[in-house]
Amino acid sequence: MNDFAIFMALTAAMGLSIFLSLPIVYSKRAQGRWAVGLNAAAIGILIFLLADVFSDVSTILYPSGYVANVTYSIAFGLAFVAAFLALYFVDNLPHLAPRGAKSDDAAPGAEARPRNTALIIALGIGLQNLTEGLVFGVNWTAGALGILAVVFVGFFLQNVTEGFPIASPFLGTDARRGVAMMAGLFLVGGLPTLVGGAIGYFWSNALFIVIFDALAIGAIAYVILPMLRVAFRPLESREASIRRNQLVYIGAMLGFALGFAVNAI
């Protein structure tokens, strides 16, 4: 097996490890309070991913530690806005709105259309995973074996957790979530790792990394908003809302801690 084949096999294992979360997503316990907790943990994981991606690109944006590179900063800002607005317009296309929806229900990612929300989340995670593949490819060609081992293990474990944000719009609802559909969404989130890996293996460019990191951050920032809207929607009583909110706070904190822990290994 040649060097590129070995590299792509490891990249595939890293990107497709997202499927390891599938049994938990389909568990009968992923309902009720468990659904609220898993949704909140998904929000925490996405918040961590935002911080993680920005920490990676910050060394390019601020090469001296505090003075920004103007060219890269402008590219970052434009790509961030482009990703955010692109997902906003896709999420609010008239033909994607559920039948009978009122105009005041057009807020992004409304709970009446979990499949659309899950697709938007998968796209955001896919962009983030593309940058992970780029990092892996660049370090592979550089022959940095020590860094490679850390990157592989960290990204492998982190990708396992990324199935929860994608599945979160379905948890605690009666929406259909067939295995084929969920597998397709997971591929949208995981396969870009292979694309990014192949690009990083053959070619690397700082501006390219900045643009795709910014696209990932813009996409993830967008998908967090509808998830928060669903997480804090009013319940039938004030007491129930308070209990649910407490669970959301705890779940988000644990999700962030989980993302940090697997990334630190």
pLDDT attached to residue 110: 42
Cβ distance 114 to 181 under 8 Å?
A: no
pLDDT attached to residue 31: 61
Structure tokens given for 8: 């792509």
pLDDT attached to residue 38: 76
pLDDT in tens, 109-134: 344 478 888 888 888 888 888 888 88
pLDDT attached to residue 30: 60
Domain spans in the chain, listed from the N-terminal domain onward: 3-264
pLDDT in tens, 207-265: 888 888 898 888 888 888 877 877 887 877 888 888 888 988 998 899 888 888 876 66
Q: Which burial class, exposed, middle or buried, applies to 3 when counting CB atoms under 10 A from its CB (0-12, 13-18, 19+)?
A: exposed
pLDDT attached to residue 265: 61
pLDDT in tens, 47-67: 888 888 888 888 889 887 777
pLDDT attached to residue 91: 75
User: How far, in Å, CA of 30 to CA of 20, rounded?
Assistant: 15
Structure tokens given for 147: 């860094």
Is pTM beyond 0.75? Reply is no
